[in-house]
Structure 1
């Protein structure tokens, strides 16, 4: 099977975003905060093996962490787009600090139980659900546009620097001083993150009478996702990859304890190896991008991850396990960064938080379902067999779904502001609707097939940017008169639609207008419902 190659383009440099002080400070703070989170996670995962040796119970910790993200990421994305992102992040950090503080108290007093551990892990997952789309959505605010993709890669690098340090440090603290001190170290890291957020003076956005409500923003975001064919391909590829790859994350505590006969410190070392491998993968990624396109990178990541899982299933020597997890960490970060960067590249800023939340929902839904499913398989078979089944599935899925190409994501999605403001003889209530927009074209018979094909492409733009229904009709008295129509839920939503149309969408519209043969531009009419 051949792997497509990708042409190189001008790059600002992998570390260029760190020259911008706000990004650099927040990046460093998040590395520290994530280090604490990984220390907490390794303590919780290993503590569960002491509270219950059941594979299903151990996998439940992973599921409890990811299930809230699956359930709440989309509402969190809506909040990201309509609230002050800086204040929202500060609230989330306080919530997560409270969770870790509760873990400290329970561990120190010998009150920890399976129920408490899973419950607090679930609350921590709620904080992660709120934080995920918000952190990702602020990236374009912190760096210039040419640096956005490198900033995304640096965020992934930062997470894996934390992954390489946090689990190893957490494992050593856990083995030497117990769970309470490990959780306490996590609490301390949140203070640094909150301080960095308070230092960041986020520019205030101008108040607008078109500000979206939660319900309206939710519906607009879901309409966009439903109509975005490019995002659909990213979501499908993410769901397939992470559903199979989740097996090794869910079962790694048992791999360390039963297959490799290690202790808590060794488990932390394994997670640290994954993080170290991810750092290497992130540093190697710019060179790989010069040779492989996004689809080639995803295929490579699937094959390497499947091979790593196969080796782990064979109960290799501990040194070999650490080495193989270095490669798996590199493959993991390559897949994660490729999918995340592709998703970011196909999203306009107005819906970024909501659409990224859908991506995170798919990611964490696949991780949650996979963790529960692979835990159940291990319960009735064994850990080694489960890893082999998952590895075979990931390998085959990587080959099969390589045919469904990821989008290139090079369109200019900045607002074009080329639609003229609709003229109203009298002011219309913003909540009034629905609104029917009619656009009359004059099209020669011989141009009709090409015109309708171009109009079909434009229809996805209408549906992404606010329309909930779209169609095209011909005049029974004049076969050359064709009317495009679409419906928007309110007058305010149509005004927002004017602000959302991108420069890439303007090019689509120009492709449609070149078929119009009338003496003037097509006539546009706005019909508002009377009741």
Structure 2
């Protein structure tokens, strides 16, 4: 597989270019406020638990409760974002998050916040985040030009990490002076700001939503696409092998601050601020660095830096050294995730973008949630130092795999929608719900072209399965040497019409054209529907 490499033809957009688009700029600033509120809440929730028994596990469970809903709900949320108006969905979810933040505030003020209830409300907040992420990620390619997507992804990481630097610092000051309740209250205000920005936003070219797919069918279609897309699976693996060991840094940092470094809430906020500053610097330098290094070289360097950071944070109880180690950790974090996230946005076609990004978020959040729990349990049993060293070892192993599973090169891949199949000429129109539908395509291929034809049809198979085929096969009649019959099954007639009308891309078209060039004449296509779904003899009699 050809892998990503930098070159003059691939010059990245300026890091700030997307902010020149007013709609993106306004929403980015509002989301920054919401991200700051989210980090303030995380710090507040963790600090409420720091003095309980089994604090290692409870503090780690805050991150697990925040991220587990993404693991459980991201794909259904992606279905909703692909089938309904994303702006309206985002507004409704932000109002729900405001309500959850207000509940956290009132219960904390009245001193009715046991650990179980705190984790439950944190989980509810995570539900709202899970519903937000796919819709927002799918909106970004509609807000900025394609050439600015990598810069927009880096700006998204900068937003998160500015929030990671500012939110904990503000939360630390507030907790030290006024307690945790004001932190939760400010989080409610932050999400009101994001809601207001969404209400004011009027998309210039509102996305036309076709008749929504049935929920279960849309869910299966998204799963099929990921299952049969080697590129998406490669990107998911790269995310997962980085996030699982990296989650130890976030999950156990409050305990490092309190137990190994003797810091209070303000000191913990300072540690998170160092991580955030490193990530901001990494995001700003990413465009410049990407012009000089390939994406896979960046992955290798980032993995080594994070390994060193984990080792220092876990093993060296010296505040200045830990602060210095957290700076490159932040840079490495944004480098890996901004690259992988941008590649996903560039590769996924619009019809399944939210669902594909949701699967990415499942891997990202699931890796963090499960990793946080594992590292928390290991720290309780074996101690913080051993937990961090184990995470550093796993990170190093994962970094080596970047040479085995490198990022693919997407610069020459045509992802534009392509409705190139000929118009259907049918004796009757089946109902969209009728299925399954069996499609057969008969090709005539000369014997000397057989082997290259089989290779070309393997690419066609991938396109059919990504866009709707449940089963696919290529057969040849035993009675002749130059006929091949492609057979594939689609769940319903409506699903097949979606293949015709928007699911195929320029890359799919190129694959099919390569196969067609090796055949004689036009292929013969038949669509077989269940016999009961066809016109009956009485129907024909009445029509005469």
TM over 0.5: yes
Q: Deviations over 1:76-135 (max 9, x none)?
A: 111110111111111111111111111111111111211111111111111111111111
Three-state SS of the structure 1 residue aligned to 2:408 is coil
Query: Per-residue deviation at 1:207?
Result: 5.7
Match of 2:421 in 1: 419
Match of 2:518 in 1: 515
1:281-292 superposed matches below 5 A = 281-292=282-293
Match of 1:395 in 2: 396
Three-state SS of the structure 2 residue aligned to 1:157 is helix
Q: Does structure 2 conserve the Cα–Cα contact (< 8 Å) formed by 1:260 and 1:315?
A: no
Q: Does structure 1 conserve the Cα–Cα contact (< 8 Å) formed by 2:150 and 2:339?
A: no
Match of 2:309 in 1: 308
Q: Does structure 1 conserve the Cα–Cα contact (< 8 Å) formed by 2:69 and 2:126?
A: yes
Three-state SS of the structure 2 residue aligned to 1:124 is helix
1:69-468 superposed matches below 5 A = 69-202=70-203, 203-206=205-208, 208-209=210-211, 211-410=212-411, 411-468=413-470
| Cα distance in 1 for residues equivalent to 2:328 and 2:54 | 28
Q: Deviations over 1:451-506 (max 9, x none)?
A: 10110111001000111110001122221011111111111111100121111111
Query: Per-residue deviation at 1:401?
Result: 3.9
Match of 2:542 in 1: none
Q: Does structure 2 conserve the Cα–Cα contact (< 8 Å) formed by 1:233 and 1:406?
A: yes
- CA distance 1:92–1:284, shift in 2 (3 Å): same
Query: Per-residue deviation at 1:4?
Result: 8.0
Give the number of equivalent residue pairs: 526
Q: Does structure 2 conserve the Cα–Cα contact (< 8 Å) formed by 1:4 and 1:292?
A: no
| Cα distance in 2 for residues equivalent to 1:359 and 1:406 | 15
Three-state SS of the structure 2 residue aligned to 1:471 is strand
Match of 2:55 in 1: 54
Q: Deviations over 1:194-238 (max 9, x none)?
A: 1100011134444645x3121111111111011001111111111
Structure 1 residue 65 corresponds to structure 2 residue 66: yes
Match of 1:479 in 2: 481
Q: Deviations over 1:218-264 (max 9, x none)?
A: 11111101100111111111111111111111101101101111000
Three-state SS of the structure 1 residue aligned to 2:173 is helix
Q: Does structure 2 conserve the Cα–Cα contact (< 8 Å) formed by 1:40 and 1:182?
A: yes
Q: Does structure 1 conserve the Cα–Cα contact (< 8 Å) formed by 2:474 and 2:487?
A: yes
Q: Which shifted more, 140-149 or 331-340?
A: 140-149
- CA distance 1:205–1:388, shift in 2 (3 Å): closer
| Cα distance in 1 for residues equivalent to 2:225 and 2:349 | 10
Query: Per-residue deviation at 1:409?
Result: 2.1
| Cα distance in 1 for residues equivalent to 2:4 and 2:228 | 27
1:15-54 superposed matches below 5 A = 15-54=16-55
Query: Per-residue deviation at 1:272?
Result: 1.1
| Cα distance in 2 for residues equivalent to 1:113 and 1:51 | 10
- CA distance 1:393–1:450, shift in 2 (3 Å): same
Query: Per-residue deviation at 1:337?
Result: 0.5
Q: Which shifted more, 395-404 or 36-45?
A: 395-404
Structure 1 residue 7 corresponds to structure 2 residue 7: yes
Query: Per-residue deviation at 1:306?
Result: 1.0
| Cα distance in 2 for residues equivalent to 1:475 and 1:32 | 64
Q: Does structure 1 conserve the Cα–Cα contact (< 8 Å) formed by 2:12 and 2:290?
A: no
Three-state SS of the structure 2 residue aligned to 1:271 is helix
Q: Does structure 2 conserve the Cα–Cα contact (< 8 Å) formed by 1:442 and 1:482?
A: yes
| Cα distance in 1 for residues equivalent to 2:77 and 2:242 | 24
Q: Does structure 1 conserve the Cα–Cα contact (< 8 Å) formed by 2:12 and 2:150?
A: no
Query: Per-residue deviation at 1:389?
Result: 1.1
| Cα distance in 1 for residues equivalent to 2:368 and 2:153 | 21
Match of 1:501 in 2: 504
| Cα distance in 1 for residues equivalent to 2:327 and 2:170 | 17
Structure 1 residue ranges, 4+ long, deviating more than 3 angstroms after superposition:
203-209
Q: Does structure 2 conserve the Cα–Cα contact (< 8 Å) formed by 1:51 and 1:113?
A: no
Query: Per-residue deviation at 1:314?
Result: 2.2
Q: Does structure 1 conserve the Cα–Cα contact (< 8 Å) formed by 2:4 and 2:407?
A: no
Q: Deviations over 1:310-362 (max 9, x none)?
A: 11122332122122111111111111101111221221010000011111111
| Cα distance in 1 for residues equivalent to 2:492 and 2:236 | 30
Q: Does structure 2 conserve the Cα–Cα contact (< 8 Å) formed by 1:295 and 1:405?
A: yes
Q: Which shifted more, 276-285 or 152-161?
A: 152-161
| Cα distance in 1 for residues equivalent to 2:23 and 2:430 | 42
| Cα distance in 2 for residues equivalent to 1:140 and 1:265 | 38
- CA distance 1:250–1:11, shift in 2 (3 Å): closer
Q: Does structure 2 conserve the Cα–Cα contact (< 8 Å) formed by 1:243 and 1:367?
A: yes
Three-state SS of the structure 2 residue aligned to 1:487 is strand
| Cα distance in 1 for residues equivalent to 2:473 and 2:200 | 50
Q: Which shifted more, 419-428 or 445-454?
A: 419-428
The alignment's TM-score, normalised by the length of structure 1, stands at 0.96
Q: Which shifted more, 408-417 or 277-286?
A: 408-417
Three-state SS of the structure 2 residue aligned to 1:484 is strand
Match of 1:491 in 2: 493
